Structure 1
Amino acid sequence: MERWKTREVMVGSVGVGGDNPVRIQSMTTSDTRDVRATADQVMRLADAGCEIVRVTVQGKKEAESCEAIKEDLLARGYTIPLVADIHFYPPAAMLAAQYVDKIRINPGNFVDRRASFQVFEYDDAAYALELEKIEEQFAPLVQLCKRLKRAMRIGTNHGSLSDRIMNRYGDNPRGMCESAFEFARVCRKYDYHDFVFSMKSSNPVVMIEAYRLLVDEMKKMGWNYPLHLGVTEAGEGEDGRIKSAIGIGTLLHEGLGDTVRVSLTEDPWSEIDPCKRLVRWAEKQQVLPPIVLREKVALKEGLHPQGTVLLKGESLEELEGVLKLAQKKAKDTPDCVWVEEVSEEIEPVIKDLIEAGVGILSQTPYPKALPLSKEPLDIPYVLWMQEPTSLPEKRPEWIVFQPKGSFAAQTRALVSAVKESDLPIVLAASYSCEAEDLCIHAGAEIGACLIDKLVQGICLLGIAPVDQRRQLSFNLLQAARMRTSKTEYISCPGCGRTLFDLQEVSRRIRGKTAHLPGVKIAVMGCIVNGPGEMADADFGYVGSKTGKVDLYVGKECFEKNIDFADADERLIQLIKDHGKWKEPEYHET
Structure 2
Amino acid sequence: MLSQYTTHKMWKSLRPRNCSQSVLKMATGAVPASFTGIKSRDHHGLGFAISPEFVKVSNLQRVKFRRTKVTVIRNSQNPGSETAELAPASEGSPLLVPRQKYCESIHKTVRRKTRTVMVGNVALGSEHPIRIQTMTTTDTKDVAATVEQVMRIADQGADIVRITVQGKKEADACFDIKNSLVQKNYNIPLVADIHFAPPVALRVSECFDKIRVNPGNFADRRAQFETLEYTEEDYQKELEHIEQVFTPLVEKCKKYGRAMRIGTNHGSLSDRIMSYYGDSPRGMVESAFEYARICRKLDFHNFVFSMKASNPVIMVQAYRLLVAEMNVLGWDYPLHLGVTEAGEGEDGRIKSAIGIGTLLMDGLGDTIRVSLTEAPEEEIDPCRRLANLGMRAAELQQGVEPFEEKNRRYFDFQRRTGQLPVQKEGEEVDYRGVLHRDGSVLMSVSLDQLKAPELLYKSLAAKLVIGMPFKDLATVDSILLRELPPVDDNDARLALKRLIDVSMGVITPLSEQLTKPLPYAMVLVTLKELSSGAHKLLPEGTRLVVSVRGDEPQEELEILKGADATMILHNLPYSEKKTSRVHAARRLFEYLSENSLDFPVIHHIEFPSKIHRDDLVIGAGANAGGLLVDGLGDGILLEAPDQDFEFLRNTSFNLLQGCRMRNTKTEYVSCPSCGRTLFDLQEISAQIREKTSHLPGVSIAIMGCIVNGPGEMADADFGYVGGAPGKIDLYVGKTVVKRGIAMEHATDALIQLIKDNGRWVDPAAEE
What is the DSSP-based 3-state SS (H/G/I as helix, E as strand, rest coil) of the residue aligned with 1:197?
Answer: strand
Q: CA deviation at 1:441?
A: 1.5
| 2:618 corresponding residue in structure 1 | 440
Q: Which moved more, 1:361-370 or 1:569-578?
A: 361-370
Contact 2:110 2:362 in 1 (8 A): no
1:303 correspondence with 2:445:
no
Equivalent residue in structure 2 for 1:317, among 442, 449, 462: 449
1:195 deviates by 0.6
User: Where do 1:167-246 residues align within 5 Å?
Assistant: 167-246=275-354
* Distance in 2, Cα, partners of 1:175 & 1:537: 20
Find the aligned partners of 1:342 and 1:396 in 2 and give their Cα distance.
24
Unpaired runs of 5+ residues, structure 1, are: none
Q: TM-score, normalised by structure 2?
A: 0.75
1:209-253 per-position Cα deviation (integer Å, ceiling 9, x unaligned): 000000000000000001000000000001101111111111111
Identity of aligned residues (%): 53
Cα drift, residue 116 of structure 1: 1.2
| Number of the residue aligned with 2:30 | none
In the TM superposition, residue 125 of structure 1 has moved relative to its aligned partner by 1.4
Q: Among 573, 589, 602, which residue is 1:415 paired with?
A: 589
Cα deviation for residue 18 of structure 1 reads 3.8
Q: Which residue of 2 aligns with 1:424?
A: 600
Aligned mates of 2:212, 2:235 — CA distance in 1:
25
Please tell me whether the aligned partners of residues 524 and 547 of structure 2 are also in contact (alpha carbons under 8 angstroms): yes
**Paired AA for residue 410 in structure 1:** A
Change in CA separation of 1:561 and 1:140 when aligned onto 2, cut-off 3 Å: same
Match of 1:381 among 544, 552, 577: 544
| SS of residue matched to 2:729 | strand
Task: Name the CA shift for 1:472/1:119 in 2 (closer, same or farther; >3 Å).
Answer: same
Between the aligned partners of 2:172 and 2:713, the Cα distance in structure 1 is: 32
Q: Which residue of 1 aligns with 2:407?
A: 293
Structure 2 counterpart of 1:445, one-letter code: N
C-alpha distance after superposition, 1:20-47 (max 9, x if no partner) = 1100111000111111111111111111
Match 1:524 to one of 688, 699, 703: 703
> Could you list the runs of 5+ residues in structure 2 that have no partner in the other structure?
1-108, 409-415, 422-431, 465-470
C-alpha contact 2:417 2:600 (8 A) present in aligned 1: no
Question: 5 Å matches for 1:459-498?
Answer: 459-463=637-641, 464-498=643-677
Cα displacement string for residues 424-446 of structure 1 (whole angstroms, at most 9, x for unaligned residues): 11111011222232111111111
- With over 3 angstroms needed to count, the CA separation of the structure-2 counterparts of 1:288 and 1:482, relative to structure 1, is farther
What does 1:48-67 align with in structure 2 at a 5 Å threshold? 48-67=156-175
Aligned to 2:506: 360
Identify the range of structure 1 (384-393 vs 185-194) with the bigger mean alpha-carbon deviation. 384-393
CA distance in structure 2 between the partners assigned to 1:287 and 1:129 by the alignment: 48
- Report whether the alignment pairs 1:351 with 2:527: no
Q: Does 1:327 align with 2:463?
A: yes
Contact 1:342 1:350 in 2 (8 A): no
Amino acid at match of 2:638: L
Deviation at 1:320, TM superposition (A): 4.2
Q: Which residue matches 2:713?
A: 534
TM-superposed deviation, 1:183 = 0.4
Distance 2:194 2:502 in 1: 55
The offset of 1:385, in angstroms, is: 2.2
Listed as ranges, the matches of 1:96-175 within 5 Å are 96-175=204-283
User: Any conservation in 2 of the 1:491–1:522 contact (CA below 8 Å)?
Assistant: yes
Alpha-carbon offset, residue 322 of structure 1 = 4.5
Root mean square deviation of aligned Cα: 1.7
Tell me the secondary structure at the aligned position of residue 547 of structure 2.
strand
Per-residue deviation, 1:272: 0.3
Q: Which amino acid aligns with 1:441?
A: G
Q: Which residue of the partner structure matches residue 31 of structure 2?
A: none
CA contact (8 A) 2:602 2:633 kept: yes
Report the equivalent of 1:397.
566
Cα distance between partner residues in 1 of 2:334 and 2:418: 37
Structure 1 residues 586 and 322: alpha-carbon distance in aligned structure 2, compared to 1, 3 A threshold: farther
Q: For the structure 1 residues 291 and 308, does the alpha-carbon distance in structure 2 shift closer, same or farther, using more than 3 Å as the test?
A: farther
Provide the rounded CA distance (Å) in 2 between the counterparts of 1:373 and 1:586.
42
C-alpha distance in 2, partners of 1:296/1:416? 14
Question: Which among 628, 631, 637 is matched to residue 453 of structure 1?
Answer: 631
In structure 2, what residue type is equivalent to 1:83? Answer: V
C-alpha distance in 2 between matches for 1:562 and 1:218: 45
Looking at structure 2, the residues matched to 472 and 586 of structure 1 have their Cα atoms a distance apart, in angstroms, of 24
TM-score normalised to structure 1 length: 0.97
**Paired residues, what number?**
588
Shift of 1:342: 5.2
Per the TM alignment, residue 293 of structure 1 is displaced from its structure 2 partner at its CA by 3.5
Alignment deviations for residues 45-88 of structure 1 (CA, whole Å, 9 cap, x no partner): 11100111111111111111111100000011011111110001
Distance 2:563 2:156 in 1: 56
Deviation at 1:352, TM superposition (A): 1.1
Q: Matched residues in 1 for 2:357 and 2:485: separation?
A: 38
